[in-house]
Amino acid sequence: MIDSIRPTPSEIRAYRAANPTLRERDIAAQLGVSEAALVAAECGLTTVRIDSDANRFLARVEELGEVLALTRNESAVHEKIGVYENIKAGKAAALVLGSEIDLRIFPSAWAHGFAVSKTDSNGEIRRSLQFFDKWGNAVHKVHLRPASNLAAYERIVEDFRLPDQSQDFVADSSAPTSDGHDVAVDAAELRERWTKLTDTHQFHGMLRNLKIGRRQALHTVGEDLAWRLDPTGVQAMMRGGAEIELPIMCFVGNRGVIQIHSGPVARIGVMGPWLNVMDPTFHLHLRTDHIAELWAVRKPTTDGHVTSLEALDAKGEMVIQFFGKRKEGLAERPEWRSLVEGLPRLNTTVAA
């Protein structure tokens, strides 16, 4: 039991040693600290503080060769195995458009970086580069694999090493902003702007201009454009898509990164509340019990409307989002549209 308001690095290390089977996020929650605080507590031991500049990282990451890229939020973990390639740096946003690793990166959210070397239960050293926002939430991690270039990793760690190797981590005291706020909405104006969209990428800008959250927009726009589904629809969609080998797009994101899988899914399993995909280059772990609302959403484009499946948590934040895979300039796959439109709607009938 830790008595201090904020545990010291040595207390964090002791707690971790006493609970070796607990996941890091669970340990952080039990200690009341951020995940970054757990990592920082190992500085000088198994961890090195490194520069968190996202574009500097992107300029070097391809040197690592094949790696596992991991992006997560509170409810979903998205992992892709591949090489960082076709990289386009940018101050406001950067892109990785590889054949496997596909990322949208927002550099301003990257605040802390660490190189981590951990010895697993088999005695093997697991190396990774881990990046966090100013509150200590993970935004992106890169895990080395057997085929990775270890010498390149060591050069990057040495080049990115910071003078400050403190084991203390103090999270930013400001409150994170939320996308789930509910405000008064002019339904007619929302519908007018929504129906005039020509590209799905315009959707977030529309919400920002109207100063409304996604959840409020979905509840307001009308059932011809957004309709509520039973939360079991995610599993039903994935199993239905797997049966016909339907290529889908799966988005998981946080403030710093959106990570995308494009292609079919096959190996789907359930363990407790977790819905898991364990395909050769794509792994997904989704807490289905965190899905408070599931929506089917239609957005107009110049190629006809496209249909998305969007899962929100209890705060109205996006947990995970799906589209049918398509190329720009082509209409949505009819198999995808039919699959989503056939998912069970939320039963809102109240017994008399």
pLDDT tens, residue by residue, 58-77 = 999 999 999 999 999 999 99
Cα separation of 138 and 250, whole Å?
A: 19
pLDDT band with cut points at 50, 70 and 90 for residue 163 = very high
Beta pairing partners, 261 = 250
* Mean pLDDT of the region 222-246: 97
Closest CA to 24 of 46, 44, 52: 46
Beta pairing partners, 262 = 249
Closest CA to 36 of 176, 175, 172: 172
Q: Given this model, what pLDDT does residue 123 score?
A: 83
Q: Given this model, what pLDDT does residue 23 score?
A: 85
H or E stretch at 262: strand 257-263
With vertex at residue 324, the alpha carbon angle to CA 322 and CA 328, rounded to the nearest 5 degrees, is 115
Quick: pLDDT tens for 319-340: 999 999 998 888 999 999 999 9
Closest CA to 157 of 49, 43, 45, 46: 49
Closest CA to 39 of 1, 12, 15: 12
Q: Given this model, what pLDDT does residue 351 score?
A: 41
Q: Is 304 exposed, middle or buried (0-12, 13-18, 19+ CB in 10 A)?
A: exposed
Q: Given this model, what pLDDT does residue 182 score?
A: 61
Q: Given this model, what pLDDT does residue 120 score?
A: 82
Rounded to two decimals, what is the model's pTM? 0.94
State whether residue 253 is helix, strand or coil.
strand
Q: Does pLDDT of 175 surpass 80?
A: no
Residues 6 or more apart whose Cβ sits within 8 Å of residue 173: none
What does the mean pLDDT of the chain come to? 93
* Mean pLDDT of the region 221-226: 96
Q: Given this model, what pLDDT does residue 348 score?
A: 58
Residues 6 or more apart whose Cβ sits within 8 Å of residue 177: none
Quick: pLDDT tens for 126-139: 999 999 999 999 99
Q: Does pLDDT of 33 surpass 80?
A: yes
CB 89 within 8 A of CB 55: yes
Cα separation of 345 and 329, whole Å?
A: 30
